[in-house]
Amino acid sequence: MDLSVKIIGSGIAGLASAVRMASKGHRVTVFEQAAEPGGKMGEIRWKDFRWDAGPSLFTLPDLMEELYVIADEEMKLSVRYRQLETITRYFYDTGLVINAYGDPREFAREVEMKTGESQKRVLKFLNRARKIYELTRDVFIFGVFNSVSTFVSPQFLKAALQIYRLEAFSTMHRANRRKFSSDQLVQLFDRYATYNGSNPYRAPGTLNVISHLEHNMGAYFPEKGMRVLATELYNLARKLGVEFQFDSRVDRILMEHGSVKGLRVNGVDQPADLVISDVDIYYVYKDLLPDQPFPKKYFKGERSTSAMIFYWALDQSFQELELHNILFSSDYRKEFDSLFEDQQVPDDPTVYIFISSKMVPGDAPEGKENWFVMINVPPDTGQDWDRETERARGLILNRISKVLGISVEEHILHETIRDPRNIEKETFSYQGSLYGSSSNHTMAAFNRHPNHRHNMKGLYFVGGSVHPGGGIPLCLASAKIVEKQIIKHYYR
């Protein structure tokens, strides 16, 4: 079968879709409004410094490897990655430091030594997270979520019969508080709600599945940095014959009698049998499908958090820090109240510091470091971001100074800043929200926009704003789901 497939956007999900479609022999063209591929997986350069601009952690690498298998290609050396021995170093305002080692047993020993929480209890928690994954992966991660067949499948029925294991009717924080007496350990596992921009005090305990991906299945990092995942998928797609048109903004998705007919790009109509959109679903309806009713039900829930990021070039290296570092807020609940209730930058934000030069020496000159410093902030609803950025910068510097005893500001050679405004502008993420809808209620997964709607024949959706959600592995999963749907709809 030879189909003309047009893809909107070259984020990681759009690139994965291009590889999957081209591997089946289809004629694939990708239209990208930017000058280069990657979407949120961009990079920033200044002199001899380089920063990964977006995602900084790699899990479920099998989803990446699978793309090379179906393309009948070997992964190049530049895409090689290694499992992290230390996933994250956690700093608390009390002076406590916990190393989250990649080996679960070593991590459990570290926790017991630092907090008194028994190793057995930690390993039991991680095993429970494994069970959640095993019960939900075929439905909530890799399943076609708007299909009746999904909800009568053996996998769904199995999950439904063991729903008590999913902790869907308990908040993540409450579930973790029942399992641990250590405030520090509860905070550590509550943090996984932020991986999809949610609030652990309201999101369901099912989200503890995220800790399984990291602690049981492993956290990884590419030897040449995160950006290489996008650039090498782009190279793979081109090798398969995919055509890329950059600086090409799609004006409209062309529909006729409920079926897709193509795209209008820079004023020119481009016929297509299939269209796959890797664009934030809000803008798909607002700008690309103006004649279609706006599906309000998919936008009733809260948006996920956005971010404020400072990319700093430092004139020295800091041995106290790892590749990934978390400097925790002293009042986690108050931080999330600020983010979701007050819609303001917290007064005491948790600070994330990612230093890729710890693993990729070429990302900074010898003896210097490239810091990616991020805090969670609410999406853009009209806040004074100039004022908030200045205030946040001071809070972050004070936090680092307090926890690490390091005066960082005097070592900053160069600074680039991103806030929700330019995140939205550069990545077309509505309000700068990084993950589309949040997961702040039990039914959130059911309210996420599906990968295909039955009244739009030939139009499919991938990326972080649709099922199954944001982050590299889920975006790659969305491309896999769409391939399954296209096979079902066209390969009969």
Could you read off the pLDDT tens digit of each residue along the chain, which spans 492 residues?
Answer: 789 999 999 999 999 999 999 999 999 999 999 999 999 999 999 999 999 999 999 999 999 999 999 999 888 766 889 999 999 999 999 999 999 999 999 999 999 999 999 999 999 999 999 999 998 888 778 887 665 555 556 665 555 556 557 788 899 999 999 999 999 999 999 999 999 999 999 999 999 999 999 999 999 999 999 999 999 999 999 999 999 999 999 999 999 999 999 999 999 999 999 999 999 999 999 999 999 988 887 887 789 999 999 999 999 999 999 999 999 999 999 999 999 999 999 999 999 999 999 999 999 999 999 999 999 999 999 999 999 999 999 999 999 999 888 899 999 999 999 999 999 999 989 999 999 889 888 767 677 899 999 999 999 999 999 999 999 999 999 999 999 999 998 886
Residue type at position 36 = E
Grouping H, G, I as helix, E, B as strand and the rest as coil, residue 319 is: coil
Could you tell me the CA-to-CA distances from 419 to 8, 208, 376, 424, 468 in Å, in that order? 25, 28, 10, 9, 25
CB 308 within 8 A of CB 418: yes
Q: What region, left, alpha or beta, does residue 486 occupy, with left being phi > 0 and alpha being psi -120 to 50 degrees?
A: alpha
Looking up tokens 């902790």 gives 167
439: exposed, middle or buried (Cβ count in 10 Å: 0-12, 13-18, 19+): buried
C-beta separation of 255 from 264 below 8 A: no
Residue 45 identity: R
For residue 469, give the nearest of 490, 487, 450 by alpha carbon. Answer: 450
What's this model's pTM, rounded to 2 decimal places?
0.94
C-alpha pair distances (Å), 137 with each of 96, 134, 166, 198, 465? 35, 6, 12, 20, 18
Predicted local confidence at residue 248, as pLDDT: 96
The answer to whether 281 touches 436, Cβ cutoff 8 Å, is yes
- The superfamily CATH assigns to domain 4-41+224-295+449-490 is FAD/NAD(P)-binding domain (3.50.50.60)
Are 408 and 370 in contact by the 8 Å Cβ rule? The answer is: no
pLDDT (0 to 100) of residue 155: 60
The Cα 38–Cα 7 span in angstroms is 14
Q: Which helix (H) or strand (E) covers residue 231, if one does? A: helix 227-239
- Does residue 475 contact residue 462 with C-beta atoms inside 8 Å? yes
Give the chain's radius of gyration (CA, Å).
Answer: 22
Query: By C-alpha distance, which of 259, 282, 285 is closest to 272?
Result: 259
What is the C-alpha to C-alpha distance for residues 195 and 204, in angstroms, rounded to an integer? 14
pLDDT of residue 163: 59
Query: 10 Å Cβ neighbour count for 161?
Result: 10
Q: In Å, what is the CA distance from 151 to each residue of 138, 148, 451?
A: 11, 5, 16
